[in-house]
Amino acid sequence: MATRASADTVTIRPATEDDLDDIAAIERAVFRDPWSRRSFADLVRVSNVLFLVASDNDAVVGYAVVLSSGVESELANLAVGRLMQQRGVGRRLLHEATTAARQRECREMFLEVRESNTSAISLYSSAGFQAVGRRARYYARPIEDAIVMRKVLK
């Protein structure tokens, strides 16, 4: 992976089964309570799931998973590999995810974020998400509340 890459040099595309090992490796590296590879594999072909990857020279450097149902969508997961963090890749994935949800005629998007994850909260806030609630003890390892955020898409 090129260490000088930025959001401008990555390609955003739908995830494939060939990406799953890279996705699972990023997930384990950045989250304390990671999803399993199987969890991601189950989502690759589901019609109401938007599963995007950011790739740089064919290496997956980030991903986003959006679930949609009717006019609502949920950003279920978004992660960027450690070497590519703070380079705009997460912002680009978030923009592509919200744009795609809007194109699927979703009117709003929700997400949960650890209350201690100030960098993610800042990213989501700057993209127009607003805190609308809290889920007590939502996260494990360590136990922590989630902030529920919402963005109006239409």
Domains of the chain plus CATH, in order, are 11-152 (3.40.630.30)
pTM score of the predicted model: 0.91
Give the integer Cα–Cα distance in Å for 110 and 130. 9
pLDDT at 5: 62
Query: What percentage of the chain carries pLDDT values higher than 90?
Result: 81
pLDDT digits (tens, 9 = 90+) for 91-122: 999 999 999 999 999 999 999 999 999 999 99
pLDDT digits (tens, 9 = 90+) for 23-81: 999 999 999 889 999 999 999 989 889 999 999 988 999 999 999 999 999 999 999 99
Buried b (16+ CB within 10 A) or exposed e, 115-145: beeeebbebbeebebeeeeeeeebbeeeebe
